[in-house]
């Protein structure tokens, strides 16, 4: 039996009041949570590892989102109909597309999975790159399709000519992750637009912009959203897990024309929950958090690459929330050496088995990383 029906009207009002008071109290704590999470994680005596393996946001998330969650708590016995509509409206306004172009999901991963399920079929293929993000292509294979993976160029960037050359009469989709995960490199926006406009009929461009807010020039300079607005065959995915710091809440979305949305909807398994919806809507109305997050990422990322330059370590030009660097040590071994010093770094990304992806954490975390990194590299005779 649920507790809610047992509460009288007065009790329900007072539970809402308690939630609001709780929200106010939480808000007074929020600056510590949002801006000094590291102090909580790495206080003297803390045994917690430095977690820079999963591209999570170490700078917290919006206080306005936190307050919206607190205020919504008494109502989570209800479905998220209204809150989903409000989120769709907020996203549509941000992307400058009609509401029926927006598909909110539990993280952006489901957009990738749905697209793969909708387009995969025996004999059909998706073209992408290696190393790259594999969620869409793995699902495409599971559902009977084939994948054609193209190597990156010497700068570890997309080689659009090579991607184009891999497209054949059985290609139904090109998966473009921009910035690419794990390398963090981006594609010149004009070249990418020309490439997409030039795709053969029947080939959909799936553009995954999970980290694009952190690129030089940001969404304004680099997003492919204008092609969606123009009606091109593009499916674009975005997430609240990265720059907005809400990975654990699971909110993301796809932007695409309604005919594509209808095709993907056949595989929809549920949208974001009520707390995720209100938090995401509130995040979009909190430019202060967004700017703090972007500028923190960029300044700590630069601190890391400056040091790598001094050490003479090779890395791909990073435009996301991580840096991909050459250690020269087999990645499994390198992970274990770092973990022994309480620093968790990224997994293997075939075929670059002596490179490592390191997520950007707080300045303190990355200072710790850099000193452990130096020791480990010296121990391996690489410095
Ligand atoms: C490139 C890329 N796309 C999509 C995702 C999916 O993330 P989420 O489902 O949390 O939005 C990730 C997660 O790391 C990613 O790196």
Domain assignment of residue 375, given as a range: 9-61+287-383
Nearest atom in ligand 1 to the alpha carbon of residue 211 is: 1
Residues in the chain: 383
β-strand pairing of 234-239 with 252-255: antiparallel
| d(C-alpha 268, C-alpha 209), whole Å | 20
What is the CB neighbour count within 10 angstroms for residue 332? 11
3-state secondary structure of 9: helix
Interval between CA 210 and ligand 1 midpoint (Å): 6
117 and 174 together in one domain: yes
What is the distance in A from the centroid of ligand 1 to the CA of 242? 8
At 1, the pLDDT band (50, 70, 90 cuts) reads very low
Mean pLDDT (whole number) for 274-302: 98
Going by pLDDT thresholds of 50, 70 and 90, the confidence category of residue 17 is: low
Strands 102-105 and 252-255: antiparallel
Among protein residues, the one whose CA lies closest to atom 3 of ligand 1 = 210
Higher-scoring residue by pLDDT: 134, 24: 134
- CA–CA distance, 255 with 92 (Å, rounded to integer): 9
219 with 260, same domain: the answer is yes
Q: Can you give the pLDDT at residue 33? A: 43
**Residue-averaged pLDDT of the chain:** 92
Counting ligand 1 atoms within 8 A of each CB, the residue from 56, 109, 349 with the most, and so the one to mutate, is 109
Read off the CATH number of the domain in which 119 is found.
3.40.640.10
Classify residue 198 by its DSSP letter.
T
Same-domain pairing of 238 and 192: yes
CATH number, domain with residue 311: 3.90.1150.10
Q: Is the pLDDT of residue 315 over 90?
A: yes
Q: Ligand 1 test: best mutation among 241, 245, 283, most atoms within 8 Å of CB?
A: 241
Say how far apart CA 230 and CA 108 lie, in whole Å.
22
Residue 52 lies in a domain: yes
Closest CA to ligand 1's atom 15: 210
Closest atom of ligand 1 relative to the 112 alpha carbon: 4
φ, ψ for residue 198, nearest 5 deg: -90, 0
Place of tokens 């703090």: 292
Closest residue by CA, ligand 1 atom 4: 109
User: What is the structure's pLDDT at 5?
Assistant: 42
Q: Are residues 259 and 334 in the same domain?
A: no
Centre of ligand 1 from the C-alpha of residue 221, in Å: 21
Question: Tell me: the pLDDT tens digits for 320-378?
Answer: 999 999 999 999 999 999 999 999 999 999 999 999 999 999 999 999 999 999 999 99
- Is 29 a member of any domain? yes
pLDDT, greater one: 38 or 272: 272
End position of a domain, from candidates 249, 266, 284: 284
Q: How remote is the CA of residue 20 from the centroid of ligand 1, in Å?
A: 32
Element (H, E) at 41: helix 37-42
Token digits of residue 306: 């400056």
CB atoms within 10 A of CB 191: 12
**Helix, strand, or coil (residue 173):** strand
Cα 272 to chain centroid, rounded: 15
pLDDT at 38 > cutoff 50: no
The residues lining ligand 1, judged by C-beta closer than 6 Å to any ligand atom, are 55, 107-109, 133, 177, 181, 208, 210, 239, 241, 247, 252
User: Do 221 and 311 reside in the same domain of the chain?
Assistant: no
What pLDDT, on the 0 to 100 scale, is given for residue 256? 98
In a shared domain, residues 300 and 221 = no
Both 246 and 302 in one domain: the answer is no
Q: Is residue 184 part of a domain?
A: yes
Per the model's pLDDT, the better-predicted residue between 46 and 83 turns out to be 83
Based on the domain organization, do 248 and 160 belong to the same domain? Answer: yes
Domain identity same for 100 and 212: yes
Question: Ligand 1 atom 14: the closest Cα is on which residue?
Answer: 55
Of all protein residues, the one whose alpha carbon is nearest to atom 6 of ligand 1 is: 109
CA of 247 to the centre of ligand 1 (A): 9
Torsion over CA: 21, 25, 28, 33 (sign):
negative
Mutate to test the pocket of ligand 1, among 108, 112, 318 (most ligand atoms within 8 A of CB): 108
Query: Considering the entire predicted model, what is its pTM?
Result: 0.91
Region 262-281: mean pLDDT is 97
Candidate from 103, 210, 254 with most ligand 1 atoms within 8 A of CB, to mutate: 210
Res. 48 pLDDT band, cuts 50 70 90: confident
Query: Are 83 and 189 contained in the same domain?
Result: yes
pLDDT reported for residue 37: 36
Give the pLDDT confidence of 149-192 residue by residue, as tens digits: 999 999 999 999 999 999 999 999 999 999 999 999 999 999 99
% the chain with pLDDT above 70: 88
> pLDDT at position 122, please?
98
Q: Which of 265, 284, 303 is the last residue of a domain?
A: 284
108 CA distance to ligand 1 centroid (A)?
6
Per-residue model confidence (pLDDT) at position 22: 55
The pairing of strands 234-239 and 204-208 is: parallel
Instruction: State which H helix or E strand residue 343 sits in.
Output: strand 343-345
Residue with tokens 């054949």: 168
Last residue of a domain, one of 222, 255, 284: 284
Helix, coil or strand: residue 93: helix
Three-state DSSP at 146 gives strand
Percent helix, percent strand, percent coil in the chain, to nearest 5? 50, 15, 35
Structural domain count of the chain: 2
Q: Which of 264, 374, 334 is nearest to 53 (CA)?
A: 334
CA distance 16 to 305: 48
| pLDDT tens digits along 86-142 | 999 999 999 999 999 999 999 999 999 999 999 999 999 999 999 999 999 999 999
Two structure tokens written together for 382: 């690489």
């Amino acid at each position: 039996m649920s507790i809610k029906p047992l509460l009288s009207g007065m009790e329900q009002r007072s539970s809402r009041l308690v939630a609001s008071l709780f929200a106010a109290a939480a808000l007074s704590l929020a600056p510590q949570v949002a801006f000094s999470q590291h102090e909580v994680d790495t206080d003297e005596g803390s045994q917690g590892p430095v977690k820079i393996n999963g591209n999570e946001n170490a700078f917290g998330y919006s206080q306005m989102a936190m307050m919206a969650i607190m205020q919504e708590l008494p109502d989570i016995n209800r479905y998220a109909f209204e809150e989903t509509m409000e989120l769709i409206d907020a996203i549509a306004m941000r992307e400058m597309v009609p509401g029926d172009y927006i598909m909110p999901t539990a993280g952006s991963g489901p957009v990738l999975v749905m697209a793969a399920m909708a387009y995969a079929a025996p004999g059909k293929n998706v073209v992408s790159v290696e190393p790259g993000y594999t969620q869409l292509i793995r699902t495409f294979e599971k559902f009977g399709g084939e994948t054609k993976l193209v190597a990156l160029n010497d700068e570890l960037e997309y080689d659009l000519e090579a991607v184009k050359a891999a497209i054949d009469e059985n290609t139904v989709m090109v998966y473009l992750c921009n910035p690419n995960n794990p390398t963090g490199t981006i594609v010149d926006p004009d070249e990418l637009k020309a490439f997409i406009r030039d795709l053969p009929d029947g080939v959909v461009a799936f553009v995954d912009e999970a980290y694009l807010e952190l690129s030089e020039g940001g969404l304004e300079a680099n997003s492919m959203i204008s092609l969606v607005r123009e009606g091109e065959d593009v499916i674009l995915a975005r997430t609240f897990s990265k720059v907005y710091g809400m990975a654990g809440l699971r909110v993301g979305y796809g932007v695409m024309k309604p005919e594509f949305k209808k095709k993907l909807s056949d595989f929809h398994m549920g949208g974001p929950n009520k707390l995720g919806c209100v938090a995401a809507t509130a995040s979009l109305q909190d430019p202060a958090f967004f700017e703090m997050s972007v500028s923190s990422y960029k300044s700590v990322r630069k601190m890391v690459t400056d040091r790598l330059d001094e050490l003479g370590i090779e890395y791909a030009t990073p435009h996301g929330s991580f840096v991909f660097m050459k250690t020269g040590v087999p990645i499994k071994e390198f992970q274990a050496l770092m973990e022994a010093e309480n620093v968790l770094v990224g997994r293997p990304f075939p075929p670059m088995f002596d490179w490592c992806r390191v997520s950007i954490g707080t300045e303190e975390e990355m200072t710790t990383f850099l000193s452990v990194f130096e020791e480990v590299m010296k121990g391996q005779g690489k410095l």
